Amino acid sequence: MNTAAATGLLHLIAAEPGLLAAAPEGATGDDLHRRAGDEDHPCLGCGAPATCAVVVETGPSGPRWLDLCSPCWHTVRQANEGTPDSAGQ
Ligand SMILES: [Zn+2]
């Protein structure tokens, strides 16, 4: 997945949050770890086994899970911030 695809994914999620699985209200780090580590979810970007899970607030639809593998998470984060990786964290 490249940055353009990641941007498209973010736009799709914003438009159709129902595509994502509902996440619990107030999910904690433990919830994220369990989702990413103990459960089996495909990466939304490329279909590989997801290793990262984040909760996105979608407004009326509530919190939703965003499952990603490490490379896609990296790309999505860049797309979301709109900054090149060399800018540093
Ligand atoms: Zn991926």
For 35-59, the pLDDT digits (tens) are: 999 999 999 999 999 999 999 988 8
Give the pLDDT confidence score for residue 59 in this predicted structure: 87
44 lies in some domain: yes
* 85 confidence band (pLDDT: 50, 70, 90): low
Q: How far is the CA of 78 from the centre of ligand 1 (A)?
A: 14
Strand partners for 68: 52
Whether the predicted pLDDT of 83 surpasses 80? no
Three-class SS of residue 61?
helix
* 32 confidence band (pLDDT: 50, 70, 90): very high
* Distance, CA of 36 to CA of 3 (rounded, Å): 22
* Distance, CA of 30 to CA of 45 (rounded, Å): 23
Residue 86, amino acid = S
23 lies in some domain: yes
What element of type H or E holds 65? strand 63-68
Domain residues for the domain of 32 are 3-82
User: Which tokens is 57 given?
Assistant: 């607030």
51 lies in some domain: yes
Q: How far is the CA of 10 from the centre of ligand 1 (A)?
A: 14
Whether the predicted pLDDT of 64 surpasses 50? yes
